[in-house]
Amino acid sequence: MDKVFASVDEAVKDIPDGASIAIGGFFTAGTPVQLIQALARHGAKDLTIICQQMGPGNEDMTKLVEQGQVKKAICNYPFYRSASRGANSPFEKAVRAGKIEVEVFPMGTFIEKMRAAGAGLAGFYTPTGVGTVVERGKEKREFNGRSYLLEIALKPDYAFIYAWRGDRMGNCTCRKTAQNYNPEMAKAAKITIASVEKVVEPGELDPDKVHIPGVYVQRVVEVGRRTYKPGID
């Protein structure tokens, strides 16, 4: 089955208002920027964005905020502070004004919620966050004398991921730290859209180096190699 789309705009054009979208990447490493840009052009609103961080350092995500497309953000690093930018990011301003709801999880919990969804689990217990604001409103149980919190699996409608190579059947290979959250998000989502530097033919990828099997990917689009302008100060 050929899963390749002609462009990023074609790949995202049916995303409806109100969708939840997991977006891979850690700052600029492994972030599917071309898909985020296409989502901004598409204009879907009332979105729930699930990602590592929403603030400065991810300017394409900031555009979604500035255009009023984001209703809620689920992340582990919501606000970025620096000497030059302080608390002036559009995302933080929107949160403080009550325009965007934000839900924050510790990094390990954040990614485990998606790993659990990909494994077909309803949730899991973790000791992370016990005795802190993280435990508010959550079920707490003791196992072997230690307290744990129940975390519910997180299953987004869509996932935007980035890979070095992808074949026409959706199998993807990442490079080094650009792998980060991408495999877990791909497995958790109902529909995964993979942006890849280059599309190759089935059989060209080393099976031992496939990080995201094609069964988890519904759409593939070639975006070429990216160049970055450092934006974090």
Structure confidence by residue, pLDDT tens digits, 207-222: 999 999 999 999 999 9
Whether residue 233 is contained in a domain is answered as no
What is the DSSP secondary-structure string of 97-150?
TTSSEEEE--HHHHHHHHHHHHTT-SEEEE-TTTTSGGGTTS-EEEETTEEEEE
- The lowest-confidence range among 60-64, 81-85, 101-105 is 81-85
Contact by Cβ (8 Å): 100, 72: yes
Neighbours of 149 (CB within 10 A): 22
Domain that includes residue 170, residue range? 8-222
Alpha-carbon gap, residue 220 to 1, rounded angstroms: 11
Whether residue 231 is contained in a domain is answered as no
The residue among 86 and 225 whose pLDDT is bigger is: 225
Whether residue 16 is contained in a domain is answered as yes
Whether residue 2 is contained in a domain is answered as no
Alpha-carbon gap, residue 110 to 74, rounded angstroms: 9
Alpha-carbon gap, residue 21 to 48, rounded angstroms: 6
The answer to whether residue 142 scores a pLDDT higher than 90 is yes
Whether residue 229 is contained in a domain is answered as no
Whether residue 227 is contained in a domain is answered as no
Whether residue 206 is contained in a domain is answered as yes
pLDDT for 80-102, tens place per residue? 665 455 567 888 889 989 999 99
Total domains in the chain come to 1
CATH at residue 210: 3.40.1080.10
Residue 232: pLDDT band (50, 70, 90) is very low
Whether residue 1 is contained in a domain is answered as no
